[in-house]
Amino acid sequence: MTTSLRLSLLLAVGAFMAIAPAASQPPLQVIQRGVTPNGFRSSVKGWNSFGINANPHTTPSFSFSQTGVTSQCDVLATNTALRDAGYIYCSLDSGWSDGSNGDEYGRITYNSSIFDIPSLADHLHDEGLELGVYVVPGAFIADEAKTVHGTNVTIGSVCSGDSGLSRCNFDYSQRATQEWHDSVVNQFASWGVDLIKLDYVTPGSPDNSASLPSDSSGAVIAYHRAIAQSGRSMRLDISWKLDRSQEYFDIWESNADSMRTDQDINNSQQSTFVSWGTIQRAIENYRQYITTVMQYNTTTTIFPDMDNLFVGNPAAISGITDSERQTVMTHWLGAGSNLMVGSDLTNLDDFGLNLLTSSATVAIGEGTDRLPMQPRNPGTGNNSSQQLQAWIAGPDTSGAAIVVISNYGPDQGEGGFGTSLSGAQTVNVSWADLGISGTYSVHDAWANKDLGSHNSSFSLQLDEGQSVMYQLRR
C-alpha cells in the first residue's frame, strides 16, 4: 500500500507547548470492560451472511443455502491464519428460518428447503467452528392458535397485534411468554446453536418501513433468561442502533453480550460492499456510543457491534481503498467491536487477510476487548466529532496504551464533524491531548516498526481516509 505518511516526533518542550497547553486538557478516565452477562470475555469473531445477501453482485456465485454458507465458512477452518486469529463463528442472518410460521408449538424452525441446521452445526463443530442464527422479537402471528410447548397456553393469549414483521407482540409479564422463549432457545441448543442475533429491537431500531412497537426490550431479557436455563453457552447479540439512554443501556448491558451502535453499513444491491461516507457514519456512531456510555460507568459488560467488517476483498469489491480498509480495521479493533466479516471469504486478498489476522491485530484485539478506545481531540483532549481525530485505549496497569490518529477526509454527509479539509493534513497530538504523561516506547502496529522512546507529542501527515495505530509502552 502506498501512503504519504510522514511522521516526526516533536521532543522539544517548546514544540510540545505550542501544540496544546497541558492545563487545558480534561483528565483521562480509562474505560474498562468486564465479563458479559452470558459469560464472555472477548468480542465475537467470524463471518456473517448478510453482506453478500444484501449485495449479491459482489459475489454472484454465492447462494444462501447450506452449500453456499458452508463454502464460505469452511474457509474459517481451512485458512490457518483465520483459524489461529480466532474467527470461529459462522452466523446465518435473515432468511435461514421459515418465514411464515413456526413448528407445531410456534417455535422458530429452519427452512428445510435450503438448510438442515442440526447437520450444519455438526459440520461446523467438527471443524472447530460455531453456529449463529438470526431472529426478531415475537412469535408468528400465524401461530397464535398454537400452544406454547409444555403448557396449555395458546400463543395468542400472551402475544397479540402486529409488530410490523408478521410477528405478534408478547406480554412480557406473563409466565407463558418466558416459556415460549425457553422452548425456542432449548430447541436451538438441541440443534447446536452457539450465538443468537436478535434484530429489530426497540427502542432504537429504525422502522425500515415496518411499524415496530416502541419498546421490545423485554425480548432481550427473555432471550437472556432462556439462554441461562438452557444449559448451553450461547452469545446474545442485539441490534440495531439501539437506544443509548441509561434506562435502556442498563437493560442491554445486563442481558446481551454485544449491541449494535449503528444501522446496516453495507451498500444495498450494489456491486461493492460499502462506501466511505457510511464508514464515517459508523465511526461517528461509535463515538457517540462510547462518550455516552462512559458517563454512566467507566466499566462496561457489553461489547459494541459496529456492524459487519468489509475489509477482506480488494477495493473493486469492498468499495473502499486500502488506506480506508486499514482505517476500518483500526477502528473496529480499537473499539473492541465484534469482528464479523461480511466479505467474500473465498476471494480474500493478501492485504485484507493481513488486516484480519496479523499478530498486531490479535494483540491489539486482546487489549481493546478489555480497554476500548475513546476519542481525545487533537489540541483540546475533548471528545467531540472531528475530521482530524485521535483516540486512546488504556493505559492498562502497566502503562501500555493504544493510540489511533486519523484523517477522515471531507464529511460526506453523516460523519458528524461537518468539515471538508481536502488532501493530506498535518495532525498534531500531544501527550496532554491523550491524557497521558511520561516516556513511552512507540511502535507503529501496521508498519510493524519501532519509532523509539518519546515523551511529548506526535506530528504527522495523513491522507484522506488514512489512520495510524500506535502501541505505547512504558
Q: Give CA–CA dist 254/242, Å, rounded.
A: 14
Which element (helix H / strand E) includes 251? helix 246-255
**Residue of 182, 199, 262, 307 marked active site:** 199
What length is written for the chain? 474
- Let me know if 264 is a catalytic residue: yes
Q: Give CA–CA dist 332/325, Å, rounded.
A: 11
Could you identify the residue written with the cell 453482485? 57
If we measure between CA atoms, which residue out of 327, 338, 374, 365 comes closest to residue 260?
A: 338
Task: With H, G, I as helix, E, B as strand and everything else as coil, classify residue 104.
Answer: coil
**Residue of 143, 237, 262, 264 marked active site:** 264
For residue 336, CA distances in Å to 145, 189, 258, 267, 301 come to 44, 27, 10, 24, 12
Which element (helix H / strand E) includes 183? helix 175-191
**The three grid cell numbers given for residue 193, joined into one nine-digit string:** 446453536
- Give me the amino acid identity at 428: N
- Let me know if 126 is a catalytic residue: no
Q: Per DSSP, what are the bridge partners of residue 255?
A: none
Give how far the C-alpha of residue 307 lies from the chain's centroid of Cα atoms, to the nearest Å: 5
Q: CB 452: neighbour CB atoms within 10 A? A: 10
Residue 444 main-chain phi, psi, to 5 deg: -80, 110
User: 230-259 burial, b for 16+ CB within 10 Å, e for fewer?
Assistant: beeebbbbbbbbbbbeeebbebbbebbbbb
Give how far the C-alpha of residue 137 lies from the chain's centroid of Cα atoms, to the nearest Å: 20
Q: Give CA–CA dist 294/287, Å, rounded.
A: 11
Q: Give CA–CA dist 402/388, Å, rounded.
A: 17
- Give me the amino acid identity at 167: R
Q: Give CA–CA dist 58/398, Å, rounded.
A: 45
Instruction: Give the pairing type, strands 45-48 and 339-341.
Output: parallel
Residue 452 main-chain phi, psi, to 5 deg: 90, -175
Residue 348 main-chain phi, psi, to 5 deg: -70, 140
The CA-based angle 165-167-170, given to 5 degrees, is 130
Q: What is the DSSP letter of 408?
A: -
Instruction: State the virtual CA torsion across 134, 137, 142, 146 in degrees, nearest 10.
Output: 100
Catalytic positions: 199, 264
